[in-house]
Amino acid sequence: MNLWNWLYLSILHLPIAFYLTRSGLYIQLMYNSVHFDIYQNNTMQKLLTFWCLLLCGTTIVQAQNGYKPAYPFELGVQLGTSQFLGDLGGVGATAVANNEWQKGVGVPFIIDTDIESVRPIAGVFARYSIGGHFAARLDLNYLQLAGDDKNAGIGQFDATEKSTNAAWFRYYRNLSFRTHVFEANVAAEITPYNFEIGNGYSDFSVISPYGFIGVGLFAFNPQAIYNGSWVDLQPLSTEGQGLVEGRANYELVQFNIPMGFGVKWSYNDTWALALEVGHRVTFTDYIDDVSTYYVDPDVFTQNFDAQTAEMATALARRSVEIDPTGKYAYVTDARLAPNKPNSSEPQNLQRGDRFGHNDGYYTVSVRFSYYIDVNSLRGAGGKRYGCPVW
């Protein structure tokens, strides 16, 4: 029995129990009197619930909806937009003016969309249908990501006049970045139902809403402008990564989990067009080179040559560019940090998201694909099967 048939039979016949507790979602599966327990905290609770319901719903309707692509293999391209979700940038002037959503470190998913930081994505993909409700796909993409603290309060803030709005601290931080991203991922697609529309076998369409989830790798390299040129940030250890105890340097190739949903329109088993929204869960908080606390610039002078130390100091703390007199320098200068309570050690000054939330990004794209070897499907009989079109 192959893996897909095993998964299908397992979902149909396995007893599944869901327990929703205060601390998260608890799922119990039983197979041959053996219990498998899965626990997810609140961060992933909604996503896991969604995928469980989608998978179960798909198996229920599969017997009632018999459409299957005439030929399973597709090759395609996609074009669209990408949006960074992390420490830098975030929702713009309208939300700041109304004191909504913006709380200094951004907000989840599409709500944090920053129009000024939208960038392009382009890619190619291959897709193989396994029946009418499941598919496997491979995506290879190039995209760009960017973020700029100036977008946290366009026209709303002044660096020399401190605001009570928490977003002012993002604006005053004055950091920015860009990165090119190359990603490769494999994913499973689930289509709950195929809506067949047409006039018989020679002219028909199929509308297929779908969801997907998978695993992938992506390569990135955050950069910032210094003296008019783009420079790489990771080698500069702007937060003391690799130089300060407890702050390891970050890798520029990381895993991600792509997931999302879309709607696909297939025409006459010849080509297909889809609109898709995809989110990437990552395992790094350094896509933008911002994560934890400011570091004393003496760390740079002690570990780098004079020119590199000067560059690292300038790019680690850029509030001086908009507050040259240092009126509020204590907000970002680690040397001016007050001592910890009942201690002679200085407090850490927050540079990034102190709660440890990882960065992410999402894409909105149009995907065009072509069914391979269509000529072989034009013979008499057997072109497709399933319920009559309506």
Structure tokens at 207: 């509308």
Helix or strand (DSSP H, E) at 19: strand 16-21
32 has pLDDT over 50: no
Pick the range with the lowest mean pLDDT from 31-40, 46-55, 146-155. Answer: 31-40
pLDDT: is 317 or 22 the higher one? 317
Q: Which span out of 192-201, 303-312, 376-385 was modeled with the highest average pLDDT?
A: 303-312
203 has pLDDT over 50: yes
Residue ranges covered by each domain of the chain: 1-64, 72-374
The Cα–Cα gap between 348 and 339 comes to: 9
| Cβ partners under 8 Å of residue 215, min gap 6 | 185, 186, 187, 255, 256, 257, 258
Class level of CATH domain 72-374:
mainly beta
15 has pLDDT over 50: no
pLDDT, tens digit, 9 for 90 and up, residues 216-251? 999 999 999 999 999 999 999 999 999 998 889 999
Q: Residue 316: exposed, middle, or buried by beta-carbon count in 10 A (0-12, 13-18, 19+)?
A: buried
The distance from CA 340 to its chain's CA centroid, rounded to whole angstroms, is: 36
19 has pLDDT over 80: no
The Cα–Cα gap between 145 and 143 comes to: 7
The Cα–Cα gap between 38 and 29 comes to: 8
**Pairing label, strands 204-219, 134-148:** unpaired
Whether this prediction's pTM lies above 0.85 is answered by no
Q: How much is the pLDDT for 156?
A: 78
**For residues 293 and 308, is the Cβ–Cβ distance under 8 A?**
no
Q: Residue 149: exposed, middle, or buried by beta-carbon count in 10 A (0-12, 13-18, 19+)?
A: buried
Q: How much is the pLDDT for 13?
A: 41
